[in-house]
Chain A
Amino acid sequence: MSYLFDPANWQWLITDRDVLFILEGFLVNLEIAAIAIVVSLIFGLFLALARISTLRPMSLVAGLWIDLWRNLPLIFMILYFALAMPQDWREAYESIVPAFFPEALRSGRVLAALSALILYNSAVLAEIMRSGISSLERGQGEAAASLGLTYSQSMRLIILPQGLRRMVPATVSQLITLNKDTTLVSIIAIQEVMRHGRIVTSSNFFGGVQAPVLQVFIFIGLLFIVVNLLLSRLSRRLELRERKRTGTTLRRVSGLEDQVAAESDLRSGY
């Protein structure tokens, strides 16, 4: 305890550029999460549509695809893609990456990391969307059909607008998991917060004192806790509003850690 609270071990917070360097790394994590969630939402929508399709083989294949990526460890996928992705894919990524992207996101390895994050999250989001859509009453689709709307019209105009609204809170919850998962890309040497933490603790990087590992990583942990707490508060508020509006409760998607927490917060009227 005396080690933990010894002021000498917190000196690095004010003396060097360490804090700034760590925050720069943390920003990379948030950027990776932002890119991954946007792309995953688009892919996830197509996966969900395939999954609920009335075409049996299509929904079967989509279901297998979703289950495969949801059941493999994410770190396994990141590592595999980093090792197995062809060189010309990486070069293609490096040549098309927009110039406004930060330095750390322009290396070809980022493509491997993003692919893994997107495959996993789009599968999860597809399940969330499916449960949002299937929580709608059957009557909605039947009413649309009886009004003479085609399948695609009733999807576009009736089912999706309502179903997707219901998945917004669960998506924000998934963003919490995604934020935490971005630390895993440090394993394939992408320069984000974990890497920056290791740099400031391992050498006299800025010519100052070597920062202590315990304190630096507690600080990094706190960064995640603050951002994720804000997100979970947002998710809870959205869910309560949605519940008031429609009178429905959150449908759980199995295998999701963070939905466990989100659901019990609601039950207790947190």
Chain B
Amino acid sequence: MSGLWGVLQEHFPELLAGFLVTIRLVAIAFVIAMVVGAVVAALRISPSKWLQRIGGVYVETFRNIPLLVLLFISFAGLRRAGVPITPWIAGTASLGLYTAAYVAEALRSGAFAVGKGQIDAALSLGFSYASALRRIVIPQAFRSVIPTIGSLVIAMIRNSAIVGVSLLALPDLLKEARIIQSRTFETGEVFFWAAIGYLVLTLTATVAFRLLERRFEVRR
């Protein structure tokens, strides 16, 4: 069977499986990116010069290194060094830690937008630094960074495709498409459906974050 519809009918199970692997990969990496990104952002705005510096080194390292190099280091590199790391751990950790640098920068700039006066006010009211961050700064910063986080999720969906075709060979959407293509040589048809899969994901993310933005909009 051939033609666009024929190829979809025949290979739907594999393509769907790959689609779901891509979603799972992005979802896990997103959680890692948000958690690590929040910690690094907290370091970067902390009062201690040394903690700021550590956060700065993290950001500069992870946003200037290619994701593919990170994947080589975390998978092939650690394996050769005797660390029994699995493709899933290496893949989600690399994508998550890479994106965390951008998340940290977004949160930091959101925190700066809140304004130092508010922190001073909170401190003078007897808040501790941590609880001022948690109750005053973070809720407001979160709101202002929603669009940026949305952009980063879209970048993550696109970057996740690197994981599958690298040495890790996680069976994500692009990897599945590649496998089907190498068996059937129906290149155009298979890649067409994979492209649809990726566009569905990025467009869904775009719409979801636009709704989220509207939901948390502040009316002044």
Contact = CB atoms under 8 A, between A and B. Distances in A.
B152 A71 contact: no
B77 A218 contact: yes
Interface in A59-116: 68, 71-76, 79-80, 83-84
A104 B63 CA distance: 27
Contacts of A257: 63, 102, 151-152, 155
Interface string A227-241: 011001000000000
B185 to A, nearest CB: 9
B77 A213 contact: yes
B187 A83 contact: yes
Nearest to B110: A264
B140 interface: no
B188 interface: yes
B161 A76 contact: yes
A260 B60 contact: no
Instruction: Categorize the interface residue count of chain B.
Output: 35 or more
Given A71-B158, A71-B199, A184-B162, A261 B147 contact: no
A21 interface: no
Interface in B49-77: 59-61, 63-70, 72-73, 76-77
A195 B66 CA distance: 14
Interface string A121-160: 0000000000000000000000000000000000000000
Contacts, number: 146
A258 B98 CA distance: 12
A214 B73 contact: yes
B203 interface: yes
A73 B199 CA distance: 9
Given A72-B199, A255-B151, A264-B112, A180 B66 contact: yes
A247 to B, nearest CB: 19
Interface string A187-218: 10000001001000100000000001111011
B161 A213 contact: no
Given A214-B77, A257-B151, A76 B72 contact: no
Given A80-B187, A183-B66, A217-B69, A260 B199 contact: no
A217 B72 contact: yes
Nearest to B99: A257
A261 B61 contact: no
A73 B152 contact: no
Given A71-B199, A76-B198, A84-B191, A260 B76 contact: no
Contacts of A263: 109
Contact of B174 (A76, A176, A228): A76
A181 B66 contact: yes
A110 B97 CA distance: 30
Contacts of A255: 151, 154-155
A187 B181 CA distance: 16
Nearest to A268: B112
A68 B81 CA distance: 41
B78 interface: yes
Interface in B170-202: 174, 178, 181, 187-188, 191, 194-195, 198-199, 202
Nearest to B113: A267
A264 B109 contact: yes
Contacts of B220: none
A267 B67 contact: no
Contacts of A79: 165, 174, 178, 191
Contacts of A71: 154, 158, 198-199, 202-203
B65 A268 contact: no
B188 A183 contact: no
B148 interface: yes
Q: Which of A75, A79, A197 has the most CB of B within 10 A?
A: A75
23 contacts: A3-B82, A71-B199, A72-B158, A73-B158, A84-B187, A179-B66, A180-B67, A181-B66, A183-B68, A194-B72, A197-B72, A214-B81, A218-B73, A225-B61, A225-B64, A225-B65, A228-B64, A255-B154, A255-B155, A256-B151, A257-B63, A264-B105, A268-B108
